[in-house]
Amino acid sequence: MTKSLDGVLTKKANTRETFTEQQIADLKACTDPDTGYLHFCNHFFSIQHPVEGKMLFKPFDYQERLLESYHNHRFNINMLPRQSGKTTTAAGYLLWYAMFHPDQTILIAAHKYTGAQEIMQRIRYGYELCPDFIRAGVVNYNKGSMEFENGSRIVSATTTGNTGRGMSISLLYCDEFAFVQPTIADEFWTSISPTLATGGRAIITSTPNSDEDTFAVIWKESQNKFDANGNEQKVGINGFHGFTAQWNEHPDRDEEWKTVELGRIGEERFRREYGCEFLVYDETLINSIKLSTMEGSDPLMNMGQTRWYDKIKDTENYVVALDPSMGTGGDYAAIQVFELPAYKQVAEWRHNETPIPAQIRILKDITSYLKQQSGDRDSHIYWSVENNAIGEAALIVIQDFGEENIPGLFISEPIRKGHVRKFRKGFNTTHGSKITACSRLKTMVENDQLKLTSKTLITELKNFVATGTSFRAKIGQTDDLISATLLALRMMSVLKDWDPRIYNTFTQAEGDEIIEPPMPIYVTGGLG
């Protein structure tokens, strides 16, 4: 034995050894192509139990099935409850794979740096406590990587778009892949897939998060096991074998444990972390359980880039809300159309490379279509724009275009008593007005009083999270359709004083007259 750079005992590479008959038998058992990993994990892989301390792994029944899935399928995706020993199970298998398979490169890609270090620490701990005759000699040994005398190595890294690029990967292990930032996860998977296609293996493990991230997509495809002829296969259409386990398969968890845990973390977190349901992990504006039930629908038709979800009725009112943008490839401009008093989303438009004059023309096209479908009547059409910085430019274009040339009535936010400012058409968004509109959106959606049909809008809501004292899209995501929806709700609040039908349904949907800020937001000084 020799000491590593970290001061721990390792086995020197290329050392001559003498083995007993029992040691030879154990080595043969570990190299068995069918069951070697089980013999190794049960007899030689040690773990540090939080209560019991140092002990042999001795996998539970579901962990043995997980190991079998690792071994018997080239591509694995595993959706497992929190604290189910998935990291420990993976550490044992990866160490065995490296020591008993020559010339392999194993890449561990973890959600965070600490996660990568945690996995490597468990591998290092298991290696250092292996009997000397089982251990492979090491050439290099540090916190982030291990290289063995047989030419195999284990490398750990944080998951980024460039992780693993240029490496010849034999086995990829992705830890908590559902929590990697979506844009990074997409970029990483796009870059790493060609490497795996040339013969590599993959193990993806996570507790679920969003139902639309890369992990969820791979998982759902792994569950689609029917080929073109309707024959059921062992793996999904993407070649992945999907494995999951229930929280009560852990021998230390029963109904009493569940009751205690439910009281501690609540139903939402329990269903997500232990029930393995695709509930959004972050503090979303809309309750994540509610979000999990919202699917949306495909448009009935497309008019240019405007998606229409329902037929127009000549007896109903319509609000058309435009949240403009510069149209230079950055933020999106968005338009939402809602039917009143049903509070049903009937159309939407979004684009980030449409200049402001063209945005106003699209607004006109939408209101013109509403008018056409209503027997050439436009008294029931109400439209407006957000008039903040970029909105100022939109107002100038509207003035040049001619407000009278856009069917319907251009409605604006009333000036409140005591406010001293020059009147400006449209709606000005402040911190207070946004929080009020967010609260109204939350109440109406969760009570099924606002009917959302757009899949894209629902996706935005799944990524619309609490940040500081407000709500906004997660990094790398968009919330422009939400902004247009919030504007539409503010328009409805004005219209309720004009139309008794809208007033009645809106106040019913609104609930209490005093709208509290959505949790966890606390706003001082009132809601404005």
Q: Please, which pLDDT band fits residue 195 given cuts at 50, 70 and 90?
A: confident
- Reduced to 3 states (helix: H, G, I; strand: E, B; else coil), residue 16 is coil
Mean pLDDT of the residues in the chain: 87
> Which option is the CATH number for 2-249: 3.40.50.1100, 3.40.140.10, 3.40.50.300, 3.40.50.2020?
3.40.50.300
Q: Where are the beta strands (DSSP E) in 268-403?
A: 301-303, 306-308, 317-323, 333-340, 344-351, 381-385
- Residue 509 dihedral angles phi and psi, to the nearest 5°: -70, -35
Mean pLDDT of 341-354: 94
pLDDT at 287: 86
Query: So what's the pLDDT on residue 501?
Result: 65
- The DSSP annotation for 394-410 comes to HHHHHHHH-GGGSSSEE
Q: Summarize the confidence of residues 64-81 as an average pLDDT.
A: 95
What pLDDT shows up at residue 244?
A: 93
Which amino acid is it at 360? Answer: I
pLDDT score of 462 more than 70:
yes
Q: Where are the domains of the chain?
A: 2-249, 293-510
Distances (CA, A) of 223 to 76, 139, 236, 303, 477: 12, 41, 5, 35, 27
**pLDDT > 70 fraction of the chain, expressed in percent and rounded:** 90
- Region 362-371 average pLDDT: 96
Is the pLDDT higher at 475 or at 358?
A: 358
Across the range 339-351, mean pLDDT stands at: 95
Six token digits for residue 485: 């929806």
Question: What is the CATH architecture assignment of 293-510?
Answer: 2-Layer Sandwich (3.30)
Distance CA 280, CA 423 (A): 41
The dihedral built from the CA positions of residue 162, 167, 112 and 61, taken in this order, carries a sign that is: positive
Average pLDDT over residues 436-461: 93
For 235, how many CA atoms within 13 A lie in the half-sphere containing its CB?
15
Give the per-residue pLDDT at 524.
Answer: 33
Look up residue 323 and give its two tokens: 């949240």
Q: At what angle do helices 455-462 and 480-495 cross, to 10 degrees?
A: 100
Q: With cut-offs at 50, 70 and 90, classify the pLDDT of residue 113.
A: confident
| Model pLDDT for residues 481-501, shown as the tens digit of each residue | 999 999 999 999 898 876 666
pLDDT of 528 higher than 80: no
Task: Enumerate helices (H) and strands (E) in the chain, giving the number of each.
Answer: 15, 21
* 164 neighbors 195 (Cβ within 8 angstroms): yes
Closest to 48 measured CA to CA, from 107, 128, 111, 114: 128
Average pLDDT over residues 5-11: 60
Cβ–Cβ < 8 Å for 340, 502: yes
DSSP string, 414-458: PPPTT------SSB---HHHHHHHHHHHHHHHHTT-SB--BHHHH
pTM given for the model? 0.69
Amino acid at 490: R
Cα–Cα distance between 342 and 313 in angstroms, integer? 11
Q: In the predicted model, is pLDDT for residue 523 greater than 50?
A: no
Find all residues with CB under 8 Å of 261, minimum gap 6, and list them.
Answer: 270, 274
Going by C-alpha positions, the residue among 11, 28, 12, 8 that lies closest to residue 20 is 28
Cα separation, 500 vs 509, whole angstroms:
14
Q: What is the pLDDT of residues 24-52, one digit of tens each?
A: 999 999 999 999 999 999 999 999 887 78
Assess whether pLDDT exceeds 50 at residue 23.
Answer: yes
For helices 86-100 and 113-128, the axis angle rounded to 10 degrees is 60
Query: What mean pLDDT comes out for the span 298-315?
Result: 93
Q: Tens of pLDDT along 218-252?
A: 998 999 887 666 677 889 989 999 999 999 999 99
Angle at 59 between CA 54 and CA 60, to 5 degrees: 125
Stronger pLDDT, 57 or 500, i.e. the higher one = 57
The predicted pLDDT at position 514 comes to 40
